[in-house]
Amino acid sequence: MELKSNTAIFCGRMTKKALTLAGRDGSSLPGKVAQTIDADLLAKLSDGCRCILVTGTNGKTMTTALLVKALEEVYPKVLTNASGANMLQGITSAFLTLKRHERPIAVLEVDEATLPHVAEAVHPEMLVFTNIFRDQADRYGSTEGVLAHLRHGARLAPTATVIANGDLPAFADLRINNPVRYFGTCLQESLPQSASEKEDDFCPQCGAPLSYEQRTYGNLGRYACTECAFKRPPLDFVLEQVDDVSTHHGAGLINGTAVEINTGGFYNLYNALAAFSAARHFGLDAETIARGMRKVVPLAGRQENVDIDGKNATLHLIKNPVGFNQIVNLLALEKEPFSLALLLNDLPADGVDTNWVNEADFEKLVTLTSHRPILIGGRRTDVLKNRLVRAGVAPSDLSLCETMPDMCRAIAQLPTETVHILPTFTALADLRRDLAHEGYLN
């Protein structure tokens, strides 16, 4: 490599070492420093790697983790951005960890708006599209805006195969020249969902309403237009049956293969389906994939368990109405009495527009708490308080925690042994940092 690239690599790695010594994460800043010196560094570092990019509104992190574990059953090294740093600088940071001449398979979680930049740099072999839901309207504008980013990314990598969720109407109308293979569900009946959970369900070709023979959640399912010939495309990979869904486990049948995962909720079976589909297209046999996926444990903030002074606390990242409602459905499966804590921030990584909470099913969530005290924290406790009161919570049942240490102390005083904590992205980072400082997390 030229002097500029070598200097960028050296400075990026030194930044990582300095952050590690300071007890900091260092998942993005090293890449940012290196890119400032050499804007083309990602393309150079990834040259020769077989890259798979995973993107979409929900499920990127878990799908990536499941796919990595499947591939590790066959390949000795799989590079990934396990911390979830999915912007350009975070992905560059991941490649900075490679030794000279090391060219492994790379499975990378990629932010939707960042996909075109990463796809242009790394020339991926495969793109995995999980779903598109309304999310961070201040940043993306609309679901159409997100779809535009994904289409652009695919067009910049014209030889990449797209593994897409065929249950999403927008993905049946991608308008790209890439090879496309679809995954989806073929269940006997629709899953129950609230009115607030349904996304837009209009034909992307003629605008007429869609009719659903079977709906899973949001606007996912087996659909057909009521006016034109548009319908769900034929599926290459199918979740044929669901054998178990609990708070910490999921099992089902995908293309005739029994699959088990150590995370709960139906939405994680979708993530398993996406990972299975990508791994099968990559050439792995089905049993090898299933064996690898069984090794995945809950990730940071995604059903992550923490013992807080004897309380069995579980962290669930929240960020948009559909994802929130799926977590509520998950909590409805909880067999133990539980208490609840919610943390809402409005920083750019969370989405500065907090109006999404008005579309989330807080009413159902409240019915699960049996009038126990609810802890609220983060920058926008005012929004949480108003929304919970409108959902039927008495103001006297809400306990405001002004700081993260206050939240940790309050959790330890809750009346139940089981606690579910629902934070937005930056609130999750703040909470985990404080939990680590107090010795609750490594």
Q: Which positions are catalytic?
A: 353
The answer to whether the annotation marks 51 as part of a ligand binding site is no
For the residues of 219-288, what is the DSSP string, one character each? T-EEEEESSSS-BPPPPSEEEEEEEEE-SS-EEEEETTEEEEESS-SHHHHHHHHHHHHHHHHHT--HHH
Bridge partners of 299, per DSSP, are 302
Number of H helices, E strands in the chain: 15, 17
The answer to whether the annotation marks 408 as part of a ligand binding site is no
Of 437, 404, 442, whose CA–CA distance to 423 is shortest?
404
Asked if residue 315 lies in contact with residue 431, where contact means CB atoms within 8 angstroms, the answer is yes
Asked if residue 143 lies in contact with residue 134, where contact means CB atoms within 8 angstroms, the answer is yes
> Which residues are CB-neighbours of 320 under 8 A, at least 6 positions away?
57, 58, 133, 134, 135, 136, 351, 356
The answer to whether the annotation marks 11 as part of a ligand binding site is no
Instruction: Indicate the length of the chain as a whole number.
Output: 442
Give the containing element (helix H, strand E) for 160: none
The answer to whether the annotation marks 401 as part of a ligand binding site is no
> Strand, helix or coil at 45?
helix
Give the containing element (helix H, strand E) for 18: helix 3-21
d(CA 57, CA 355): 17
- Please provide residue 312's backbone torsions phi and psi, each rounded to the nearest 5 degrees: -85, 90
Binding residues for Zn(2+): 203, 206, 225, 228
